[in-house]
Amino acid sequence: MTATPSANAGGSAGGLGNARIGVVTFPGTLDDRDTQRAIRLAGAEAVELWHRDKDLKQVDAVVLPGGFSYGDYLRAGAISRFSPVMEMIIEGARQGLPVLGICNGFQVLTETHLLPGAMLRNNHLHFICRDQRLRVENAETAWTNTYEAGQEISVPLKNIDGRYVADERTLDELEAEGRVAFRYLGMNPNGSLRDIAGITNAAGNVVGLMPHPEHAVEPLIGTGRTDGLGFFTSVLKQLVSA
Protein backbone atom coordinates (compact mmCIF):
# COMPACT_ATOMS: atom_id res chain seq x y z
CA MET A 1 0.00 0.00 0.00
CA THR A 2 3.02 2.30 0.02
CA ALA A 3 3.47 4.81 -2.78
CA THR A 4 6.46 6.07 -4.70
CA PRO A 5 6.96 9.85 -4.55
CA SER A 6 6.59 11.67 -7.85
CA ALA A 7 9.59 13.30 -9.46
CA ASN A 8 7.59 16.53 -9.20
CA ALA A 9 7.76 16.24 -5.42
CA GLY A 10 11.45 17.05 -5.42
CA GLY A 11 13.21 13.71 -5.74
CA SER A 12 16.24 14.76 -3.70
CA ALA A 13 16.20 11.96 -1.16
CA GLY A 14 19.40 10.13 -1.95
CA GLY A 15 19.96 9.49 1.75
CA LEU A 16 18.54 10.44 5.09
CA GLY A 17 20.44 13.72 5.32
CA ASN A 18 19.26 14.80 1.86
CA ALA A 19 15.54 14.29 2.42
CA ARG A 20 13.58 17.55 2.54
CA ILE A 21 10.27 17.52 4.38
CA GLY A 22 8.06 20.59 4.15
CA VAL A 23 6.03 21.85 7.11
CA VAL A 24 3.15 24.18 6.25
CA THR A 25 2.30 27.16 8.46
CA PHE A 26 -1.17 28.66 8.23
CA PRO A 27 -2.39 31.63 10.30
CA GLY A 28 -3.19 29.95 13.62
CA THR A 29 -0.86 26.96 13.23
CA LEU A 30 0.66 26.03 16.61
CA ASP A 31 2.77 22.93 16.14
CA ASP A 32 4.90 23.74 13.11
CA ARG A 33 8.09 24.25 15.14
CA ASP A 34 7.56 21.02 17.06
CA THR A 35 7.05 19.18 13.77
CA GLN A 36 10.20 20.71 12.30
CA ARG A 37 12.15 19.53 15.33
CA ALA A 38 10.77 16.00 15.00
CA ILE A 39 11.84 15.94 11.35
CA ARG A 40 15.37 17.04 12.24
CA LEU A 41 15.59 14.44 15.01
CA ALA A 42 14.63 11.79 12.47
CA GLY A 43 17.52 12.88 10.26
CA ALA A 44 15.93 14.99 7.52
CA GLU A 45 15.88 18.67 6.64
CA ALA A 46 12.76 20.57 7.72
CA VAL A 47 11.64 23.09 5.11
CA GLU A 48 9.29 25.91 6.10
CA LEU A 49 6.31 26.34 3.78
CA TRP A 50 4.03 29.38 4.13
CA HIS A 51 0.33 29.06 3.31
CA ARG A 52 0.66 31.60 0.48
CA ASP A 53 3.59 29.80 -1.18
CA LYS A 54 2.88 28.76 -4.75
CA ASP A 55 5.57 26.09 -4.94
CA LEU A 56 6.77 23.35 -2.61
CA LYS A 57 10.48 24.22 -2.74
CA GLN A 58 11.40 20.79 -4.10
CA VAL A 59 10.44 18.94 -0.91
CA ASP A 60 10.14 15.16 -0.84
CA ALA A 61 7.22 15.03 1.60
CA VAL A 62 4.87 17.43 3.40
CA VAL A 63 3.42 17.65 6.90
CA LEU A 64 0.31 19.68 7.71
CA PRO A 65 0.75 20.29 11.44
CA GLY A 66 -1.72 20.92 14.22
CA GLY A 67 -3.23 24.13 15.49
CA PHE A 68 -6.26 26.26 14.73
CA SER A 69 -5.75 27.41 11.15
CA TYR A 70 -7.68 30.62 10.49
CA GLY A 71 -9.03 30.32 14.03
CA ASP A 72 -11.20 27.36 12.97
CA TYR A 73 -13.65 29.92 11.62
CA LEU A 74 -16.41 28.51 9.43
CA ARG A 75 -15.20 24.95 10.10
CA ALA A 76 -11.86 23.49 11.18
CA GLY A 77 -9.61 23.27 8.13
CA ALA A 78 -12.23 24.63 5.74
CA ILE A 79 -10.47 27.92 4.94
CA SER A 80 -6.97 26.44 4.81
CA ARG A 81 -8.15 24.13 2.07
CA PHE A 82 -8.16 27.17 -0.28
CA SER A 83 -4.66 28.44 0.59
CA PRO A 84 -2.37 28.66 -2.47
CA VAL A 85 0.06 26.07 -1.11
CA MET A 86 -2.72 23.49 -0.91
CA GLU A 87 -3.19 23.48 -4.68
CA MET A 88 0.35 22.17 -5.04
CA ILE A 89 -0.02 19.72 -2.17
CA ILE A 90 -3.23 18.28 -3.59
CA GLU A 91 -1.61 17.82 -6.99
CA GLY A 92 1.53 16.32 -5.44
CA ALA A 93 -0.43 13.93 -3.23
CA ARG A 94 -2.33 12.61 -6.22
CA GLN A 95 1.01 11.91 -7.90
CA GLY A 96 2.46 10.07 -4.89
CA LEU A 97 3.91 12.81 -2.67
CA PRO A 98 3.85 11.61 0.97
CA VAL A 99 1.59 13.90 3.00
CA LEU A 100 0.90 13.65 6.73
CA GLY A 101 -1.90 15.62 8.40
CA ILE A 102 -1.75 15.92 12.17
CA CYS A 103 -4.85 17.11 14.08
CA ASN A 104 -5.79 20.33 12.24
CA GLY A 105 -3.81 18.93 9.32
CA PHE A 106 -6.08 15.87 9.33
CA GLN A 107 -9.05 18.21 9.25
CA VAL A 108 -7.55 19.99 6.23
CA LEU A 109 -7.02 16.65 4.44
CA THR A 110 -10.69 15.77 4.85
CA GLU A 111 -11.70 19.20 3.59
CA THR A 112 -9.58 18.70 0.46
CA HIS A 113 -11.06 15.20 0.01
CA LEU A 114 -7.59 13.71 -0.06
CA LEU A 115 -9.02 11.63 2.78
CA PRO A 116 -12.70 10.70 3.16
CA GLY A 117 -15.00 11.62 6.02
CA ALA A 118 -15.15 14.69 8.24
CA MET A 119 -14.16 15.92 11.69
CA LEU A 120 -16.85 17.14 14.08
CA ARG A 121 -16.90 18.61 17.60
CA ASN A 122 -16.00 16.09 20.31
CA ASN A 123 -19.12 14.30 21.51
CA HIS A 124 -18.63 15.64 25.05
CA LEU A 125 -18.20 19.19 23.65
CA HIS A 126 -14.98 19.81 25.59
CA PHE A 127 -11.37 20.34 24.57
CA ILE A 128 -9.32 17.30 25.54
CA CYS A 129 -5.60 17.08 26.26
CA ARG A 130 -4.13 13.75 27.37
CA ASP A 131 -1.69 11.00 26.54
CA GLN A 132 -3.50 8.59 24.27
CA ARG A 133 -2.91 4.92 23.58
CA LEU A 134 -3.24 3.89 19.95
CA ARG A 135 -3.05 0.63 18.05
CA VAL A 136 -1.27 0.66 14.71
CA GLU A 137 -3.68 -1.00 12.30
CA ASN A 138 -1.78 -0.41 9.04
CA ALA A 139 2.01 -0.58 9.07
CA GLU A 140 2.43 -0.39 5.30
CA THR A 141 1.95 3.32 4.59
CA ALA A 142 4.63 5.89 3.86
CA TRP A 143 4.24 7.19 7.42
CA THR A 144 3.85 3.94 9.39
CA ASN A 145 6.25 1.39 7.87
CA THR A 146 8.67 1.33 10.82
CA TYR A 147 5.86 0.15 13.11
CA GLU A 148 4.28 -3.30 13.24
CA ALA A 149 0.62 -4.00 12.69
CA GLY A 150 -1.01 -4.39 16.10
CA GLN A 151 1.72 -2.41 17.86
CA GLU A 152 0.52 -0.17 20.69
CA ILE A 153 1.95 3.32 21.02
CA SER A 154 1.24 6.34 23.20
CA VAL A 155 1.23 9.91 21.89
CA PRO A 156 -0.42 13.14 23.10
CA LEU A 157 -3.92 14.07 21.98
CA LYS A 158 -5.33 17.62 22.10
CA ASN A 159 -8.42 18.72 20.22
CA ILE A 160 -12.00 19.90 20.37
CA ASP A 161 -13.02 18.99 16.82
CA GLY A 162 -11.61 15.47 16.83
CA ARG A 163 -14.62 13.24 16.23
CA TYR A 164 -14.11 11.33 12.99
CA VAL A 165 -17.32 10.57 11.12
CA ALA A 166 -18.25 9.09 7.75
CA ASP A 167 -21.22 7.27 6.28
CA GLU A 168 -21.46 3.52 6.84
CA ARG A 169 -20.45 2.69 3.28
CA THR A 170 -17.24 4.72 3.61
CA LEU A 171 -16.46 3.20 7.00
CA ASP A 172 -16.98 -0.30 5.61
CA GLU A 173 -14.67 0.49 2.68
CA LEU A 174 -11.97 1.82 5.00
CA GLU A 175 -12.16 -1.34 7.08
CA ALA A 176 -12.24 -3.70 4.11
CA GLU A 177 -9.31 -2.02 2.35
CA GLY A 178 -7.14 -1.80 5.47
CA ARG A 179 -7.21 1.98 5.40
CA VAL A 180 -7.81 2.49 9.11
CA ALA A 181 -4.27 3.42 10.12
CA PHE A 182 -4.76 3.91 13.86
CA ARG A 183 -7.44 3.12 16.40
CA TYR A 184 -7.99 4.50 19.88
CA LEU A 185 -7.40 2.08 22.75
CA GLY A 186 -9.13 2.34 26.09
CA MET A 187 -11.70 5.13 26.35
CA ASN A 188 -12.72 6.67 23.04
CA PRO A 189 -11.68 10.29 23.71
CA ASN A 190 -13.98 12.10 21.31
CA GLY A 191 -16.67 9.78 19.95
CA SER A 192 -14.92 8.95 16.68
CA LEU A 193 -16.82 6.25 14.84
CA ARG A 194 -15.36 2.75 15.19
CA ASP A 195 -12.63 4.23 17.44
CA ILE A 196 -10.81 5.54 14.37
CA ALA A 197 -7.86 7.78 15.24
CA GLY A 198 -6.28 7.97 11.78
CA ILE A 199 -6.74 6.80 8.20
CA THR A 200 -4.83 6.52 4.95
CA ASN A 201 -5.70 6.93 1.30
CA ALA A 202 -5.74 3.90 -0.99
CA ALA A 203 -2.16 4.49 -2.20
CA GLY A 204 -0.76 4.79 1.33
CA ASN A 205 1.06 8.08 0.75
CA VAL A 206 -1.50 10.31 2.51
CA VAL A 207 -2.14 9.71 6.22
CA GLY A 208 -4.14 11.77 8.70
CA LEU A 209 -4.59 11.33 12.44
CA MET A 210 -5.80 13.42 15.36
CA PRO A 211 -3.10 12.58 17.97
CA HIS A 212 0.25 14.39 17.85
CA PRO A 213 3.28 12.15 17.17
CA GLU A 214 5.57 15.21 17.00
CA HIS A 215 5.10 15.62 20.75
CA ALA A 216 6.44 12.12 21.45
CA VAL A 217 9.91 12.14 19.89
CA GLU A 218 12.16 12.85 22.89
CA PRO A 219 12.25 11.11 26.29
CA LEU A 220 12.31 14.36 28.30
CA ILE A 221 9.18 16.00 26.86
CA GLY A 222 5.65 15.05 25.86
CA THR A 223 4.80 11.54 26.97
CA GLY A 224 8.39 10.85 28.04
CA ARG A 225 8.50 8.28 25.24
CA THR A 226 9.61 8.35 21.61
CA ASP A 227 6.64 6.47 20.13
CA GLY A 228 5.92 9.26 17.64
CA LEU A 229 9.35 9.32 16.03
CA GLY A 230 8.42 6.35 13.85
CA PHE A 231 6.17 8.54 11.70
CA PHE A 232 9.15 10.58 10.57
CA THR A 233 11.64 7.71 10.26
CA SER A 234 9.00 5.82 8.26
CA VAL A 235 8.77 8.47 5.58
CA LEU A 236 12.57 8.64 5.37
CA LYS A 237 12.71 4.89 4.91
CA GLN A 238 10.09 5.20 2.19
CA LEU A 239 12.00 7.98 0.42
CA VAL A 240 15.40 6.33 0.42
CA SER A 241 13.98 3.00 -0.77
CA ALA A 242 12.02 4.58 -3.64
202-235 pLDDT, tens digit per residue, is: 999 999 999 999 999 999 877 788 999 999 999 9
- CA angle 149–94–81, rounded 5-degree value: 100
Q: Tell me what the pLDDT averaged over the chain comes to.
A: 91
Where residue 3 falls among pLDDT bands split at 50, 70, 90?
very low
Q: Using CB atoms within 10 Å of the CB of residue 121, give its burial: 0 to 12 exposed, 13 to 18 middle, 19+ buried.
A: middle
The model's confidence at residue 241, banded by pLDDT at 50, 70 and 90, is confident
CA distances from 118 to 135, 184, 212 (A): 21, 17, 18
Catalytic site residue 212? yes
SS3 (DSSP) at 184: strand
Q: What is the pLDDT of residue 17?
A: 56
Percent of the chain with pLDDT over 90: 81
The residue from 51, 111, 137, 214 that is catalytic is 214
Active site residue 148: no
Give the Cβ contact number of residue 137 at 10 Å: 23
**Catalytic (active site) residue 129:** no
Low-confidence winner among 46-60, 71-85, 125-139 (lowest mean pLDDT): 71-85
Write down the pTM of the prediction: 0.90
Residue-level pLDDT at 6: 37
Catalytic residue among 51, 111, 137, 212: 212
Strand 206-209 vs strand 61-64: parallel, antiparallel, or unpaired?
A: unpaired
Q: Which of 51, 103, 111, 215 is catalytic?
A: 103
